[in-house]
Structure 1
Amino acid sequence: MILSLVLLGLVLLTAGVLVLAPLGAAQSSDPDAERRTALEHERDRLYTELSALNPDDPRDEARRPDLERRAALTLRALDALAPAPRLARSTGPRRSALAGVLLAALLTVAGAVTFIPRWQLKALDAGEAQDVLAVLNLPRLRAEAERTQANAAYMAWGKAAFDSGTYDQALTAYGNALKLEPRQPEALRRLGILLLTSEERTARKLSTEDATQAALLIRTAAQLAPKDPESQLLLGFAYARFGEDDAALDALERYRTLNPKGRDADEMITAIRARQNTSDPALRLYAASCASCHGPAGAGGLGPSLRASTLSRAALRQVIAQGKGAMPAYPNLSGTQLNGLLDLIGRWQKEGS
């Protein structure tokens, strides 16, 4: 932080010098500038007084000879001065000043791009700060990867590009990394999901062959790294894309188990459960209100497993209606809705985990 402030201060100081130095040079290029300015002001003042004289006023006419004499002396004094370096003053220094302004602007912009975002990182959450840094680092990481053509450099470039949403660069980087080492789960699953979702980004229809290839990449990554949360998350998204809802729920539940704080699967799980539960009002209600915490099938997630619960029906009714701990209250459920939920949880308790 201190180093950034010092460097930005130097940038601003340099900008000021670049702008003011040519202007100072312009002022000092005419040794008679001060005398010339005073005489010009006196000349203009006398001309103003002469033009204001009233020819019909005897007093004004009495003043005219003296004013004309003084104006003539002023003009003679101006003529006696060395010619003013008008060309040098009007072109050279101004051109230099303009160049200074442009260079100062470039330095200021460069300083802002380089330093200011790093100050602003303090106001961002961890994920947003990481994305900003990824964008700032992209040119350097890309140059390093293209220079060394090393697997680690391509992976670093690919990760920064993917995390910052620069997907065209991520495709290139991960593609080159897989050419060097084909069994890299991160590159496989991210390349697969980018290929699978390319239709949304490019408006180009995804071919069956490309879709199959994308699914293969994602499944291979999950097999190589089954305990990696992102492997299971992207696998779940891929299964859902192909309409395999049961397999998608299994993968997304594994993701939630591996990353209990992760919320990326919540909407997908809820949408799948809603599709599956169109014929059962209790399941629809559970999917909309409970599945994000207790899991799509009651097996637990952020909240405890309902299948492993030993609470009585009366105790469950009280918890649902009044809430408990992190569990919010649902006091506005109708009797039919509440009884439907209790029947569902009762069935799960009998089935067990």
Structure 2
Amino acid sequence: MILTVLLLALIVVAALALVLAPLRQATPPDPDAPERNRLLAERDRLYGELAALHEDDAKRPDLERRAALTLRGLDALPPAVQGNPQRTGQLALLGVGAMALLTVAGALTFVPRWQLASLNAGEAENVQAVLKLPDLRRTAERTGENADYVAWGKAAFDSGQYDQAVTAYGNALKKNPRQPEALRRLGILLLTRGDQTGQQVSDSDAERATLLIRTAAQLAPREAESQLLLGFALARYGEDKAALTALESYRTLDPKGRDADELITAIRARQNDSDPALRVYAASCASCHGAAGGGGIGPSLRASSLTREALKLVTVNGRGAMPAYPDLTEAELNGLLDLMQKWQKERQ
């Protein structure tokens, strides 16, 4: 913030110095001004006398000769130094106004973008969402329109301003109770409010929150966020099997999404405590190759035709997008290879 203020101050000082420079400079004196003024007065006097003479007046040749000499004298003088202090002042004031407008525009556009340039894409997006919140909130409260409440809720949720998101989405649902985004996001915020405040959520509030998330998943089952939040809600209450189904649906709908990886691994580890090989597989392989080796982001291990030795090399050294696992113990590696060969035989 201090750097921003200093930068703006430097811009203002430099701009003022350049723009107001004409006001500090007086018009330089004209050394030929007395002679110029004398000749101009002489020219005007001679023109006046010539205009008053008759065409055949005997004085005319002498007056014309003297007028010609006067004009020649004026032509011989260097050009007069031009200056218009009033005009210069007006231009300077216009320049000050333009500079002020540019400074304000820079403060509102260039400086924020310059600051955002040091952030990654996600952080920059969150900052921009926070900056938009006051306007979005005022708009929603002024119009009372559903779309405006949703826009406010989305910006608040995406930027981590969860109290505002609860208010915005709650008002949106009063307008239209069948909005999947508002339902699932309000539900997860209510369900996890205890994590934010340190206060335990009551069973009745937790049930209502989970119902909101379930309803959203029913209304929009093909939206990845519906399945993701449903999986989190189900896992919170120990419904691991249903949670894993929802989270795997999320991974199918959004193959690049990584938000469920840790929870999927934790659920599979809980499910496979009795089988060391399945536990290793759940922790290291299932997020890509599927819960039972049927494939996902990575290929199906059940459909694989690799030999045991080839499977071992790929597992230990990695290949392509697959990471290497050189730190597996001999027992863990052999158990994992036994499991993969078992799945290959089951396919046959």
* TM-score normalised over the length of structure 2: 0.68
Considering Cα pairs closer than 8 Å and 6+ residues apart, tell me whether 1 or 2 has the greater RCO: 1
SS of 1:123's equivalent in the other structure is: coil
Q: CA deviation at 1:159?
A: 0.2
The reply to whether residue 178 of structure 1 matches residue 173 of structure 2 is yes
Whether contact under 8 Å (1:269, 1:292) holds in the other structure is yes
The residue type equivalent to 1:257 in the other structure is: T
Q: CA deviation at 1:327?
A: 1.8
The reply to whether residue 341 of structure 1 matches residue 336 of structure 2 is yes
Q: CA deviation at 1:347?
A: 3.1
Instruction: State the 4+ residue runs in structure 1 displaced beyond 4 angstroms.
Output: 8-12, 14-17, 108-115
Task: Choose which of 125, 133, 154 in structure 1 pairs with 2:128.
Answer: 133
Q: Which residue of 2 aligns with 1:206?
A: 201
- Find the aligned partners of 1:16 and 1:209 in 2 and give their Cα distance: 64
Q: CA deviation at 1:329?
A: 2.5
Whether contact under 8 Å (1:293, 1:302) holds in the other structure is yes
Q: Which residue of 1 aligns with 2:64?
A: none
Whether contact under 8 Å (1:192, 1:215) holds in the other structure is yes
- Find the aligned partners of 1:203 and 1:15 in 2 and give their Cα distance: 52
The reply to whether residue 331 of structure 1 matches residue 326 of structure 2 is yes
SS of 2:184's equivalent in the other structure is: helix
- Find the aligned partners of 1:246 and 1:330 in 2 and give their Cα distance: 27
Q: CA deviation at 1:257?
A: 0.9
- Find the aligned partners of 1:307 and 1:322 in 2 and give their Cα distance: 20
- Find the aligned partners of 1:14 and 1:185 in 2 and give their Cα distance: 53
Whether contact under 8 Å (1:233, 1:252) holds in the other structure is yes
Task: Choose which of 251, 255, 276 in structure 2 pairs with 1:256.
Answer: 251
Aligned residues: 258
Whether contact under 8 Å (1:215, 1:238) holds in the other structure is yes
Whether contact under 8 Å (1:196, 1:215) holds in the other structure is yes
1:71-103 Cα shifts (integer Å, max 9, x gaps): xxxxxxxxxxxxxxxxxxxxxxxxxxxxxxxxx
Q: CA deviation at 1:16?
A: 9.3
1:287-325 Cα shifts (integer Å, max 9, x gaps): 222223223332333322223323233321221123221
Q: CA deviation at 1:119?
A: 2.1
Task: Choose which of 263, 269, 273 in structure 1 pairs with 2:268.
Answer: 273
Matches for 1:1-353 after TM superposition, within 5 Å = 13=12, 115-351=110-346
Residues 285, 112 of structure 1: CA spacing in aligned structure 2 closer, same or farther, 3 A cutoff? farther
Whether contact under 8 Å (2:8, 2:107) holds in the other structure is no
Q: Which residue of 2 aligns with 1:41?
A: none
The residue type equivalent to 1:214 in the other structure is: A
SS of 1:343's equivalent in the other structure is: helix
More displaced 10-residue stretch of structure 1: 295-304 or 213-222: 295-304
Q: Which residue of 1 aligns with 2:45?
A: none
Q: Which residue of 2 aligns with 1:43?
A: none
- Find the aligned partners of 1:115 and 1:315 in 2 and give their Cα distance: 56
The residue type equivalent to 1:166 in the other structure is: Q
Aligned CA RMSD, in angstroms, stands at: 2.8
- Find the aligned partners of 1:11 and 1:227 in 2 and give their Cα distance: 54
Q: CA deviation at 1:248?
A: 0.8
Whether contact under 8 Å (1:192, 1:218) holds in the other structure is yes
The residue type equivalent to 1:324 in the other structure is: R
1:44-94 Cα shifts (integer Å, max 9, x gaps): xxxxxxxxxxxxxxxxxxxxxxxxxxxxxxxxxxxxxxxxxxxxxxxxxxx
Residues 191, 315 of structure 1: CA spacing in aligned structure 2 closer, same or farther, 3 A cutoff? same
Residues 131, 239 of structure 1: CA spacing in aligned structure 2 closer, same or farther, 3 A cutoff? same
- Find the aligned partners of 1:167 and 1:210 in 2 and give their Cα distance: 17
Residues 350, 247 of structure 1: CA spacing in aligned structure 2 closer, same or farther, 3 A cutoff? farther
- Find the aligned partners of 1:300 and 1:120 in 2 and give their Cα distance: 43
More displaced 10-residue stretch of structure 1: 236-245 or 315-324: 315-324
Q: CA deviation at 1:124?
A: 2.7
SS of 2:117's equivalent in the other structure is: helix
Asked which structure has the greater CA Rg, the reply is 2
- Find the aligned partners of 2:262 and 2:172 in 1 and give their Cα distance: 32
Q: CA deviation at 1:145?
A: 0.1
Whether contact under 8 Å (1:117, 1:132) holds in the other structure is no
The residue type equivalent to 2:12 in the other structure is: L
1:228-262 Cα shifts (integer Å, max 9, x gaps): 11111001000100100011111111111111111
- Find the aligned partners of 1:175 and 1:11 in 2 and give their Cα distance: 47
* TM-score normalised over the length of structure 1: 0.67
